[in-house]
Each structure stands twice: as C-alpha cells, then as structure tokens.
Chain A
Amino acid sequence: MMKKIFTRPKALTDAAFHYCPGCTHGIIHRLVAEVIDELGAADNTVGVCPVGCAVFAYNYFNVDMFQASHGRAPAVATGIKRALPDRLVFTYQGDGDLASIGTAEIVHAAARGEKFTTIFVNNAVYGMTGGQMAPTTLLGQKTTTTPKGRDKDNNGYPVKVAEMLSTLDGAAYVARVSVHNPTHVNKAKKVIKKAFEVQIKGLGFALVEVLSSCPTNWGMAPNEALKWLEDNMIPFYPLGVYKEPAEVK
C-alpha cells in the first residue's frame, strides 16, 4: 500500500514558478499555501501581490487575488478587508515594494491595526528591475546602482522593517524569519501560520519578514547565496519574534 506523504498544496495552482533557479520565493509561496490549506481557508482567502518579482503571484496562489500598484498592497488589502471583514486577507510584498515606495502604506496599515497579514520578502536587492539597491541593501553590498558597495554617506542605512513596525501599537504580531536551510524553513512556516491566526482572531496587523536570497542579482550560485544570507543578512537583521500578543503565545 502506497501512502502519499508529500503533495502540492491545494492553495497553489499547477503553474510552474517563473522564479530564477535558487530563488527562495518558491519556498515562501509554498509555506503560505500550506498554511492556508492547514487553516482550511482557501475558499475564503483574498491575496494581494506586489510589483516586483512576485508580481505574478496571482498565477500561483489558487485563491482570489489582486495585483496592486507598486507599494500600495497594504492600502488595497485595507479596502478588501474593510469590505469583507470575514475573509482571510494577505499581502505578499518585496523589499522595494514595502520598504521603499510603499512605506507610508505599510506603516499606516500597521498603525491602524488593519486585520490582515503581510508576508514581507527581504532579499536586500531589487530583483525584477535588474539588481538595483533596495532600502534593505546592506552597507558595502554591491548592486547595479551601488557598484562600489552601498555607502552610508551617499545612500544612508538599510531599513529594519520588523523592528520599526513593532514599535506601532496597531501591529499585533511582527516577526523575522529566514528560509536559508530546512530547519529555518520549518520555523518560518510556524511563524507564518501564527501571523494568519492573529488575523483570524482579529488581534490586529501581522507581518512576517522573510529573509530571502537572490542568487541572480547577488551574482552567486544558489548555495553560496544561502551561505551569504546566513553570514551577512542574519547578523544585521536578527531573527525572532518582535511582537506577539498573549492570545497566540
């Protein structure tokens, strides 16, 4: 007797991801979809995709989806959630989308305590547009717009989103995870699930920052990229739960 022990989540379509080899977006998509499945919520979920590498996420999530303009996913999600308070609503945004052009939207959605969940993928670079500096690019990190490395005097400092948003009273749950190895992938899934449960319980805004790799724009092999993430990003962007309501502890 054969037993199926691993399958594609129902909340993902059959479409093949367009992401580059070694990109961790695919893992993160899968984690979100598995959580939606486990919550039995696919029929009741509305997702919002960003402008960035995940712009086509609506082709991959098998739930009702919106494509939002650059940075505005939290405003779009606000409109959806206010109109349909009993739906599970999430945004899926990259670092340029959320932490650069969309800072006003994410800060105020969090401050209002909008009851949706944001998956924030931080890979320290603009992917889709060609490897430019992101608000989360590390000091010294080379990108196509910081060819000699990010310089604090010229470019300022990277933005620590999880820390920043956790200062807001409306943000109920804020955590940072990574997906650079299987242990952390499993941890990330638990945190993402909690971020959706916070929404279901109506506790307020929930955000999970996921440290992610971009082998293509970092100019590395996928395994080197994961190592670079671990060695360089995690020391600057410490993992952990920054804010957690008692109800889900």
Chain B
Amino acid sequence: MLEQVLIAGFGGQGVLSTGQLLAHAGMIENKHVAWIPSYGPEMRGGTANCGVTISDHPISSPMVTEPTTLIVMTRPALEKFEKAVVPGGRILINSSLVEQDVKRDDVLALKIPANKIAEEIGNPKVANNVILGALIKLTGIVTIESVVESLKKVLPPRRHNMIPANQEALERGAQLAEKLS
C-alpha cells in the first residue's frame, strides 16, 4: 500500500494540520509516513498545501508530485492540481467552498459539502475531518480510531472537548463516501 495525498487550499483552512493528523494516524498504526508542507514561493502567501505519504514500505521520495488522492478546498487548488492526480486516483472536493466540477473522467471525483455537514454537527472547525473521513473510507489507509487517537495526542488537553465533534465529522464523511462512491 502506498498512498500519496495532496491537500490543497488557502492558509487558515487547516490544510497543514489536517495533513499532520493523517500522518500521525499512519504513524501510530506503525506505517511509514512523511508530511511535507507547501514549500516554495507561496510559503507565506495565500495558498497552502501539503503532501502526506503513507506506505507499508519505507518511503523513498516523500515528494507528492503525483498524488493518489487530491483534496481541494479552493478553486485555484483544483485548477492547479487536477492534472497531477494519477489515473484511477481520487479527487475529493469540499463542495461547500468549490463549485467547479472535475473535468477528468479517469479519476473518482467526490463532492463533499464539508462545511455544511460541519455546521450540522454544530462546529464549523471540523469540516476538514469530514473530508478526512471520506478519504479513510475510500482508501482504508488508516482507521478513524487512529485519527481519534491522534487527536488525543496532538490536541492540548484543554481542547479535548473538541474530539467528539471531530469524531462525528470523520464518521459522517465516511458514511457520505460510502453512499456516493
């Protein structure tokens, strides 16, 4: 198993921390993981992205230039990275923020109204985990339990009250992915 996930959006959308959460979950399952932030001229600019590699084998190149899954939070991110996804790969779109459709027909494209679902849960901050839940359902790279376990590790104790809402977001995303795919 080798999954290379590219998460792309704007700074402030939690792109980098969502990637770290995924990498952390992979690590506690004893998989090989690597996380690379968007790195280059846009490091302090508006756009933000990160690549997460999760594998059963030692990771040679940690660069995510040909993602198996692309998660997009903004229209420019979709336009920029749509072509990079490997044939047969997946593109998960936060359709609360991006109206455009995927043009390719050789990838699985899922539109997930993550912000809408997060609002239904009652916490707009958990939108990214709705998408993460969908990714987990589609790929099986980690389990939702490992992500929840990771949240306990990466969140400071005073934020642990956020964990139930995050868990719900992950599960709602997984359910949606099962329904859509």
Say if the two chains contact directly (CB < 8 Å). Answer: no
Chain A residues at the B interface, C-beta cutoff of 8 Å = none
Chain B residues at the A interface, C-beta cutoff of 8 Å = none
